[in-house]
């Protein structure tokens, strides 16, 4: 558990905001640095981590003898865990158009000297609006075990064959439960950032009956609906999941509305 310095100059625009950042280690730390520079009192307790998952041998054998119209990487973790698998088992697939769900995923591909096309909006709806995915014959989706089926179901409705390469599992970091228990008995933050359905479930599990004590800052209306249906009463909805979107949402807390 890491926190920004407790005392922030009042001249900083977000000095009165306290936020629990629950993103995984690296993206969470990056967001905390950005927001701390604006005065936000950030506490970082990751609610998600990933561990590698070896795909079944039958899946790997099929990849080696197939061709696709596009390979979709659904997250940074999909790139980190999926590229080594593809390079070893089916390097020819990396010659197909590569699609990254958002800027961070595209940057992870770029770090490996690969270009990933990005949708205008970093979600399943944004992916489905891309020209590359309007009439594909065969699409490979690289992702973690489980997850939403909207992308695959819609592509199949467009007559595409869709295969999954599931290369990691989402897990709760070992120390997070104890860190959250400690936090909730000391300085409860005004807001808790929730960036995915898995993080919401982990937050409910770790915080127990106290999970609604803070306002939730969520990154989509879908997450807001999930949280509200589970019992959350105080929600702040960001326009998206980027660091800039989170900052913009926080600024609405301290900026008077336009007349």
Parallel/antiparallel/unpaired status of strands 191-194 and 18-21: parallel
- Digit-coded pLDDT (tens) for 89-106: 999 999 999 999 988 899
Per DSSP, the chain holds a count of helices (H) and strands (E) of 10, 11
**Element holding 29 (H helix, E strand):** helix 25-36
Query: Rg for the chain (alpha carbons), in Å?
Result: 20
**Domain assignment present for 190:** yes
pLDDT band at residue 257 using 50, 70 and 90 as cut-offs:
low
Query: Is 216 found in the same domain as 129?
Result: no
Q: What's the rounded mean pLDDT across residues 43-69?
A: 93
pLDDT of residue 240: 86
Q: Which of 171, 201, 217 is the last residue of a domain?
A: 171
For residue 114, give its domain range: 51-171
pLDDT of residue 7: 46
**Domain assignment present for 229:** yes
- Digit-coded pLDDT (tens) for 230-246: 999 999 999 988 899 99
Q: What is the CATH number of the domain that holds 111?
A: 3.40.50.10090
* Dist. CA 52–CA 150, nearest whole Å: 24
* Dist. CA 175–CA 91, nearest whole Å: 37
- Digit-coded pLDDT (tens) for 178-224: 999 999 998 889 999 999 999 999 999 999 999 999 999 999 999 99
As for how many domains the chain has, the answer is 2
Query: Is 150 found in the same domain as 66?
Result: yes
**Domain assignment present for 227:** yes
Query: Is 111 found in the same domain as 23?
Result: no
Q: Helix or strand or coil: residue 18?
A: strand
- Digit-coded pLDDT (tens) for 109-156: 999 999 999 998 888 889 999 999 999 999 999 999 988 899 999 999
Q: Which of 127, 145, 171 is the last residue of a domain?
A: 171
Query: Is 224 found in the same domain as 155?
Result: no
Query: Does residue 5 carry a pLDDT above 50?
Result: no
pLDDT of residue 232: 95
């Amino acid at each position: 558990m890491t926190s920004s310095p407790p005392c922030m100059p009042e001249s900083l625009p977000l000095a009165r905001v306290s936020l629990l950042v629950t993103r995984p280690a690296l993206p969470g730390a990056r967001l905390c640095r950005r927001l701390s520079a604006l005065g936000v009192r950030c506490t970082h307790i990751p609610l998600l981590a990933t561990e590698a998952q070896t795909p079944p041998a039958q899946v790997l054998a099929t990849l080696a003898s197939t061709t696709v119209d596009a390979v979709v990487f659904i997250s940074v973790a999909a790139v980190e865990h999926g590229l080594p698998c593809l390079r070893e088992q089916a390097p020819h697939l990396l010659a197909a158009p590569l699609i990254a769900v958002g800027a961070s995923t595209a940057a992870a591909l770029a770090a490996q000297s690969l270009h990933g096309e990005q949708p205008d909006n970093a979600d399943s709806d944004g992916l489905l609006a891309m020209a590359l995915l309007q009439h594909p014959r065969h699409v490979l989706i690289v992702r973690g075990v489980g997850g939403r089926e909207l992308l695959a179901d819609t592509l199949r409705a467009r007559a595409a064959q869709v295969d999954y390469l599931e290369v990691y599992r989402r897990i709760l970091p070992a120390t997070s439960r104890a860190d959250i228990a400690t936090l909730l008995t000391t300085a409860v933050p005004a807001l808790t950032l929730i960036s995915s359905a898995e993080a919401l479930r982990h937050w409910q599990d770790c915080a127990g009956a106290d999970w609604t004590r803070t306002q939730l800052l969520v990154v989509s209306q879908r997450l807001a609906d999930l949280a509200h249906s589970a019992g959350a009463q105080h929600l702040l909805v960001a326009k998206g999941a980027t660091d800039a979107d989170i900052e913009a949402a926080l600024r609405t807390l301290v900026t008077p509305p336009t007349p």
